[in-house]
A and B are shown apart, each in its own frame.
Chain A
Amino acid sequence: MTTTIIWTIAIISGLGLLLALTLYLVAQRFKVVEDPRIELVEKAMPGANCGGCGFAGCHAFADSAVKAPNLDNHYCPVGGNETMKKVAEILGYEIKEKAPMVAVVRCNGTCSVRPRTSEYDGTLSCKVKASLYAGDTGCSYGCLGCGDCVAACKFGAISMDPETGLPVVDEEKCTACGACAKACPKAIIELRKKGPRGMREYVSCVNKDKGPGVKKACANACIGCGICAKTCTHDAIVLENNVAYIDFEKCKLCRECEAMCPTGAIHGVNFPKPIDKDAIKARVKERQKKAREAAAAAAEAAKPVGEPVEPPVLRQAQEPEQFKKEESNG
C-alpha cells in the first residue's frame, strides 16, 4: 500500500518536472527579442486596434514608430495629441500638434426629401448595393443607408437614424479613425476639423450631377449653382464637378454661405446662436453691391488708359475635366 502511494507521488512529480523543463526549453528556444520601447509605446496607445493610423493595430504602430526616424508619418487619431505626446516622450521625438478631427456625413438626403424610386432586395450591405446599382433613389451619389459605416465603427459612434435613413455621428465617441470613411462605397463620410468648440461648416452633399436632375432627386442637394463660392470672402469654397466643397482650413465660420445656399445643402453645427439668414443675406447683398460699384468706378477710372480691365473670373464647373472623369468611370 505504502509503495503504491510513494510510486504515485514519484511518477506524478517526475512528470511535472519533465513538463516544466520542456516548457522552459521551448520558451527559451522561441523567445522573441524585442525593443523594450515597443512595449512601452504600445502601453501608451489606446489599445483599440482600430487601424485608424494606417497600421494593422496598436502593436504594429508601436513597432513602426520605434523604428521610424521621426513621428511625421505616425499619428494615432484615436488617442490624439495626448497619446502622441506620451509616445514622443518615450521615444524622445518632437511632434507637431494636430487639430482634432471628426467624421462628417456629407449627405443630407433624408427619406422625406429624397424619394425612393426602387426597393432594394439584396444583402443589407452598402458595398453590395453600390456594386449593383446607383441606389434606391434618384441620386446616384448619396447615402445608401445599409449601415456599412455603423458596422465599421469600433467605438459605437455611428448609428442609423431610422427617421432620416442617414447615419449620425456621435461627436463625443468619434475618434476620427476613419474606418467609416473607408467603409463607405460612396465616399460621403469625410474627416473634417472639429473646429473651435465643435463649430464647423460643411456642404452636406456630394452629388456631381447638374442642377435640374439633382433637385428632382433630392430637395436638399447641392445643385452646383456656385452662389456660395461667389459669396465666400475667405476663398474657402471651391466648386468642382457641380458640387461645392468648403476647405475647413480656410473657413472662418462666418456662415454667409449657409445663409445664401438656396437648397440648404450647407450645414453649420454647434453654433451657439441659430443662424439669422435674412440679416446675413442683406449684409452680403450690400457688400456685393458696393463691390460692383467699386468695380464700375475702377473701370471708369481705368478707361483713359485704354486698356480694358478683365472682369473678375468666377470659379466655374470645369467641363472638360468632368467629362474625362465620367468617361473613366464608365
Chain B
Amino acid sequence: MDKILVSPNPHIHSATTTKVLMRDVVIALLPAVIVSVVFYGWKELLVLAVSVLSCLAIEYLITRYCMKKASTIGDWSAAVTGVLLALNLPPTTPWWVVFLGALVAIGVAKMTFGGLGQNIFNPALVGRVFLLISFPTYMTHWEIPQGLFGVDAISGATPLGAIKEGLMQGASVPDLMASHGYTYSQMLFANIGGSAGEACAIAILVGFIYLVARKVIKPWITLSILGTVAAVSCIFWLANPAQFTDPLFNLLTGGLLLGSCFMATDYVTSPMSIKGGIIFGIGIGFITLMIRYFGSYPEGVSFAILIMNSTVPLLNNWFHQKKYGRA
C-alpha cells in the first residue's frame, strides 16, 4: 500500500460502461449482419467493411487532429454507427458512396456536435438519408447479387416499393401481393429484396431480445412504435383493404424493425423518461405510416425517426419520472 486513495462515495462501480453497452449493441446486430452476408453475398461484406472502417477512421482523425483530444473509437460507438449504416444501404452500393455516407454520419451528424452523446440526430440515419437524397439511383437500385451458398434471392424492387408503384398505376393491394408472390414467412425468414438489414425480421428480433435481456435498451420505445404502426394501419386497412396494406405487411417489411429496435432506441437521440419514450414511439409509428401511405417515398422509417429525434429535447423537458414523496 503506497498512498491511501481518498474519494467521495460510492467506492464501487457497476461493470456496465459505455464500451460494454455499445459492444452489446454490436453483438445484437450480429445475427442481422450474418443473415445479410449469407443472403447478399460478398458485396454486402464489402459494404459492411467499408462502412465500419471508414466510421472508425473518420472518428479517429477528427478526435485526434480536429478536436485534439484522445481518440474515442475505443467506446465502440463509431462501430455501431458503421454497422447500422451498412445495414441501411442496398448491398450494391459502391464503396465510395458508402464512404461518403460514413463521412456525413460521423463527421457531420456526430462529431460536429461534440461527439458521442451530444448529437441531436441518429448519425447512421443522417448518413442514410443524405445518400438517399444525393444518390437516389444507387439507393433504390435493388438488383440483387448472388448470395452465398447458392441462396436464391429475388430481384427487383422492395415489397414496399413494388406495392407503391402498383398502387400509383391503379392496381389494388391484394392483386399486387398475389402477382408479386409475397408471403409473410418470406418476410420473416430472410428472402426479400431491400436494404441489407431489412432481409430477415427474425434476425433483428433476436438482437432486440438480446438487448432487452441485457438491459441495454428499454423495450417501450420499440413496442410503442410497432403498436402504433399495427393499430393505425389496421384502421386504414379495415377501411379500405384495396388501397391500404395490412398491419402484418407493414410490420414486417421495410426498415421498420431495424429502425424501431436499433435506431429509435439509440440512447442519445431518444427521450429519457418512459412517457416521453412512448410518445416518441407513437410519433415515429404514425409518421412512418403516413409517409408509406401518402408520401412519395415508399418507406418512411428513417424520416420518421429523424423528425422525432428533433422533438427529444422538448420531450425530455416535458416529461420527468415520478419523484419520491412528491405528487
Contacts and interface: CB of A to CB of B under 8 A. Distances in A.
A and B touch in the complex (CB under 8 A): yes
Interface of A: 116-123, 128, 132-133, 136
Given A119-B5, A132-B6, 4 more contacts: A117-B4, A121-B7, A122-B6, A122-B8
B203 to A, nearest CB: 43
B8 A117 contact: no
A118 B4 CA distance: 5
23 contacts: A116-B3, A117-B3, A117-B4, A118-B3, A118-B5, A119-B3, A119-B4, A119-B5, A119-B6, A120-B6, A120-B7, A121-B5, A121-B6, A121-B7, A122-B6, A122-B7, A122-B8, A123-B8, A128-B8, A132-B6, A132-B7, A133-B6, A136-B6
Q: Which bracket fits the contact residues of B?
A: under 10
Nearest to B3: A119
B11 to A, nearest CB: 9
B47 to A, nearest CB: 44
Contacts of B8: 122-123, 128, 132
A120 B5 CA distance: 6
Contacts of A123: 8
Contacts of B5: 118-119, 121
A122 B7 CA distance: 5
Contacts of B4: 117-119
Interface of B: 3-8
Contacts of B3: 116-119
A55 to B, nearest CB: 31
Contacts of A136: 6
A116 B5 CA distance: 11
A119 B5 CA distance: 5
Nearest to A128: B8
A136 B3 CA distance: 10
Nearest 7 pairs between A and B by C-beta? Answer: A121-B7, A122-B7, A119-B3, A118-B4, A122-B8, A118-B6, A121-B5
Nearest to A133: B6
A120 to B, nearest CB: 6
Contacts of A116: 3
A220 B3 CA distance: 22
A140 B22 CA distance: 43
Contacts of A121: 5-7
A123 to B, nearest CB: 8
Nearest to B4: A118
B8 to A, nearest CB: 5
B4 to A, nearest CB: 5
Contacts of B7: 120-122, 132
Nearest to A117: B3
A61 B126 CA distance: 48
A121 B12 CA distance: 12
Contacts of A132: 6-8
A136 B4 CA distance: 9
A76 B4 CA distance: 45
A249 B3 CA distance: 43
Contacts of A128: 8
A118 B6 CA distance: 7
B6 to A, nearest CB: 5
Contacts of A119: 3-6
A123 B5 CA distance: 13
Nearest to A135: B6
Contacts of A122: 6-8
A119 B6 CA distance: 6
A119 B3 CA distance: 6
B181 to A, nearest CB: 50
A118 B7 CA distance: 10
B126 to A, nearest CB: 33
Nearest to A136: B6
A79 B11 CA distance: 47
A116 B4 CA distance: 10
Nearest to A120: B6
A35 B5 CA distance: 58
A133 B8 CA distance: 9
Nearest to A134: B6
A199 B3 CA distance: 40
Taking each of B3, B5, B6, which has the highest tally of chain A beta carbons within 10 Å of its own beta carbon?
B6
